Amino acid sequence: VLSRAGLSRAVLSRAGLSRAVLNRAGLSTAALNRAGLSTAALNRAGLSTAALNRAGLSTAALNRAGLSTAALNRAGLSTAALNRAGLSTAALNRAGLSTAALNRAGLSTAALNRAGLSTAALNRAGLSTAALNRAGLSTAALNRAGLSTAALNRAGLSTAALNRAGLSTAALNRAGLSTAALNRAGLSTAALNRAGLSTA
């Protein structure tokens, strides 16, 4: 399943995830196996079923979307979820997630500072609090969501989740997401239309 999702062994091994790490995150081997993912595959991936579900990504949606490790991280595995899955900031960096990528994923200045990333580094990455506010996302909303517009859509998140995250139709259109791409991510045309996104 994970191979079909485009997760290479080399990238996953750089994240340094073991069965012990998953167990420390509160996920028993039995529970993981019941979810249809072999222990070996989960260890290679470093992604717990619980973490993926918290991010709004079902196994089926991940398969349909063909999401790579980088895409999965951009797609809403928040700092809290990643930490619960046993991924430290250092592990994330080893897995190829730069400070800029973390910021694009909606990680607030406060959260990043707690993770050891300075305000200066964030500013160099071009993400000011004012810019985020101008985009219509309050600091509280960003913290609750932990997701960028593009990431949410790539991840196939529901209209309800998008609304909770404060994402407008205009923002979705600006993200350049086609109906076909959204359908592949598990969002039906009818659901998109209800959300105010035309087929065109």
Could you tell me the residue range of the domain that residue 14 belongs to? Answer: 1-66+82-95
Q: 28-77, pLDDT tens digit by residue?
A: 545 444 444 444 444 444 455 555 554 444 544 444 444 444 444 454 44
Residue 120: how many other CB atoms lie within 10 Å: 8
pLDDT values of the chain reduced to their tens digit, one per residue, 200 residues: 233 333 344 333 333 334 444 444 444 545 444 444 444 444 444 455 555 554 444 544 444 444 444 444 454 444 444 444 444 555 555 444 555 555 555 555 555 555 444 454 444 444 455 544 444 444 444 444 444 444 444 444 444 445 444 444 444 444 444 554 455 444 555 455 454 444 43
pTM over 0.75: no
Q: Which residues contact 55 (CB under 8 A, 6 or more apart)?
A: 72, 75, 76, 77, 78, 81, 155
- Does the residue 88 lie in any domain? yes
CA distance 1 to 37: 8
- Does the residue 199 lie in any domain? no
The most distant pair of C-alpha atoms in the chain lies apart, rounded to whole Å, by 48
- Does the residue 128 lie in any domain? no
- Does the residue 108 lie in any domain? no
- Does the residue 28 lie in any domain? yes
CA distance 182 to 193: 12
- Does the residue 73 lie in any domain? no
How many domains are there within the chain?
A: 1
Token representation of residue 70: 């980088």
- Does the residue 55 lie in any domain? yes
- Does the residue 41 lie in any domain? yes
